[in-house]
């Protein structure tokens, strides 16, 4: 499904954007936190953001903090900060490989679960497409001259059934420049035949209509099925994006950072709740897939190190692993700064 962000900003849109970013990070870190607690690991800090601490609340044995830079979050577990006074039986490093892998994987898993749930809500809220109707005809256009009217349901074109697929209409029109096309429409319960000849307008083949997809309320089963389909489509889209990035097939302007993502989210959150839920689902899935990539400092690389430990039956020296993760984190932060500068420059261009 293709969504286009509106060109409006609202205060509620800004609030919903902040809320979404907090939930994205919080649900991810809660996955790490919950499984670590289950494994008996002492979670010393649960943080939203990086950098200097803005404020914190102590609850039980864990300090919950908000930090200055809203670029992610972390859980700090016993033994990870080099504190030799942490009880050995409460440290992350003393847990089995399976427990440590479960702790690491739980973060992306929570984003996947939330993404699936949001896609189900989106599928239910957006309804089931039933047919395409004409929302508007342009004055003097081929459609108006042929007699097409607002409210007409497009049944078929050139004997090709349209259903609820506007892309099929666009395809037929695009391949029929200056060629009469046979439209079968339904108007007030009566089927009519209309001949429309597409023309080239502004270098594009058009007939001069604005289309609207009519929907009905989805059943629970339909929402589940369409939610799964939307989840799969989004996963494929994200994977294709990463593939193009690795192969160097993306332009620099195609790469967006936190500022562009925030801008898009504010616009979408300012439109309607269905589109906002879809975007929230996509961002959750994107965060999960990104974190599962074997990039140093991300969850995927930590899982890779645990796989090496499982095969070799001995842990990688902590100083080596920490150095690799620190280097990866530094490179990610540098990349974040560069794409953020690019985002800001684009906003002012």
The β-bridge relationship of strands 43-59 and 190-196 is unpaired
Active-site entry in 29, 186, 222, 263:
29
User: What residues form DSSP beta bridges with 191?
Assistant: 186
Which is more confidently placed, 217 or 343? 217
- How much is the pLDDT for 203? 82
Q: Cα separation of 281 and 182, whole Å?
A: 40
- What CA dihedral angle connects 277, 282, 284 and 288, to 10 degrees? 160
Q: Is 144 a catalytic residue?
A: no
Q: Cα separation of 165 and 132, whole Å?
A: 7
CB-neighbour burial class of residue 342 (10 A; exposed 0-12, middle 13-18, buried 19+): middle
* pTM, to two decimals: 0.80
Using one digit for the tens of pLDDT, what is the confidence trace for 2-22? 444 455 667 888 899 999 999
> Helix, strand, coil proportions of the chain in percent (round to 5)?
55, 20, 25
Residue burial 298-314, b: 16+ Cβ < 10 Å; e: rest: bbbbbbebbeebeeeee
Using one digit for the tens of pLDDT, what is the confidence trace for 301-337? 999 999 999 998 888 777 787 788 778 777 776 766 6
Average pLDDT over residues 102-131: 95
Q: Cα separation of 181 and 171, whole Å?
A: 12
Q: Cα separation of 318 and 164, whole Å?
A: 57
CB count within 10 Å of CB 165 equals 16
Interior angle at CA 17, CA 114 and CA 108, nearest 5:
30
**Tokens 């989805």 found at:** 218
Q: Which CATH number fits domain 128-216: 2.30.42.10, 2.30.30.100, 1.10.10.10, 3.10.20.30?
A: 2.30.42.10
* Residue 343: band (very low, low, confident or very high) from pLDDT cuts 50, 70, 90: low
- CATH 2.30.42.10 residue ranges of the chain are 128-216
């Amino acid at each position: 499904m293709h969504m286009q962000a509106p060109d409006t900003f609202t205060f509620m849109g800004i609030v919903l954007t902040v809320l979404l970013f907090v939930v994205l990070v919080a649900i991810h870190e809660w996955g790490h936190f919950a499984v670590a607690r289950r494994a008996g690991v002492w979670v010393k800090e649960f943080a939203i953001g990086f950098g200097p601490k803005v404020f914190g609340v102590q609850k039980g044995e864990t300090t919950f903090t908000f930090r200055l830079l809203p670029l992610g979050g972390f859980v700090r577990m016993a033994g990870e900060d080099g504190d030799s006074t942490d009880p050995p039986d409460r440290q992350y490093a003393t847990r089995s490989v399976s427990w440590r892998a479960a702790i690491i994987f739980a973060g992306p898993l929570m984003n996947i679960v939330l993404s699936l749930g949001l896609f189900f809500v989106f599928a239910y809220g957006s309804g089931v497409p039933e047919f395409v109707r004409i929302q508007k005809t342009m004055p003097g256009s081929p459609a108006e001259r042929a007699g097409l009217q607002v409210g007409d349901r497009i049944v078929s074109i050139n004997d090709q059934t349209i259903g609820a697929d506007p892309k099929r209409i666009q395809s037929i029109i695009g391949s029929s420049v200056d060629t009469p096309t046979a439209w079968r429409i339904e108007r007030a319960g009566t089927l009519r035949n209309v001949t429309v000849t597409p023309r080239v307008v502004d270098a594009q083949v058009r007939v001069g209509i604005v289309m609207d997809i009519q929907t009905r309320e989805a059943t629970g089963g339909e929402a589940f099925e369409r939610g799964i389909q939307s989840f799969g489509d989004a996963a494929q889209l994200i994977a294709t994006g990463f593939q193009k990035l690795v192969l160097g097939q993306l332009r620099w302007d195609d790469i967006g950072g936190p500022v562009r993502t925030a801008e898009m989210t504010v616009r979408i959150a300012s439109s309607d709740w269905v589109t906002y839920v879809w975007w929230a689902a996509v961002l959750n899935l994107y965060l999960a897939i990104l974190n599962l990539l074997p990039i140093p400092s991300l969850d995927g690389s930590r899982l890779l190190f645990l796989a090496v430990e499982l095969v070799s039956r001995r842990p990688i020296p902590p100083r080596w692993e920490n150095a690799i993760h620190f280097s990866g984190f530094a490179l990610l932060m540098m990349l974040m700064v560069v794409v953020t500068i690019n985002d800001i420059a684009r906003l002012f261009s």
